[in-house]
Structure 1
Amino acid sequence: MRPGGTVGYSLVDRRLWFTPSVSLRSNLAYELVLGDWVRGIDGSTPRTFVPSVFVTGNTDEGRPPSPPDPSFDDDVAPVLERRCGYCHGETRPYAGLALWPVERLDEAAARASVEWIGWRVLAPGSPERSYLLYKVTGAPGLVGERMPPRDPLSRDEAAALERWIALGASR
């Protein structure tokens, strides 16, 4: 059976994930094989593809519920203001990148990254193509230092930002 599905990568958790397009039956062994369309950040392909074999559980409970979608006002804006606003605020934003107040965020989102050519600071719907997320997670391939430099975002703060970007980064 070749059901297909969605493959993604979490910069926060540093893991590849797969969501099948069909329900899997319990008590069966499945093999997941990624094709040659998988690319690294630099565009390279892996030298070998190692199949992952897994066995589904013995119940039909289904997937666990997804966490609630983050709210811009409750989950994202406070992080941007509190953790980014001092250096990337309106008056004299570091590197010319203002992330706060919220009105400046749209302007920043549309900007191309000066450190990674062809990337945007914030790519709605694509956290893996949003350089802002690389900066706040310290993910491999980062140019410069992790932000904020002295007190990195917590896992929950970064995860809310990642999920908000994945959902389209709407306000």
Structure 2
Amino acid sequence: MITDIKTFIVNVRPTREEDLEQIQVIDQHSFNLPWPARAFRHELLENPHARLWTAEANSGEGAVVVGVIVVWLIIDEVHIATIAVQPEFRRRGIGRRLLAAALQDALRSGCRNATLEVRAGNQAAQSLYRRFGFEVVGWRPRYYRDNQEDAILMTAANLGEAYSRWLENGGWEREGWTYS
């Protein structure tokens, strides 16, 4: 348990089975329509196209999972399925680090572009994605079942260029964070 969330080190690493309970809690705190508990387990253990990355914060008092990203790698494309950060750890660059780790892995795996859907009202997420070169390419009216909110479709058509843009803005060295 981290008692002082102002001072911590974040490591982004591949998700492990023992992370799943904490990931489910983060998902429930992040979304009106969280994934079913079995969904993360399925993605981690049974879906050969899925990659899951976990952000783990450590302040010296022990480590705690504070974020997750799930992506699907299909042929030469990576699809961002979900990304979530524990509410009290938001606005600290953790989502940016998770996205960077997933995109770097996708590039190494031969992906050339990336896609995602994001709520029309989620300006913070849209801003994050634009930093990585994502552009709006479409709209899905009433996509989200909980409130009929529209989804914005975004694509990074040149993933290598998008990732390079992130590196030029400080990349992994910014704020002293690590990726493993």
User: TM-score, structure 1 length as denominator?
Assistant: 0.25
Question: Which structure: larger Rg?
Answer: 1
**More helix as a share of residues:** 2
User: TM-score, structure 2 length as denominator?
Assistant: 0.24
**More strand as a share of residues:** 2
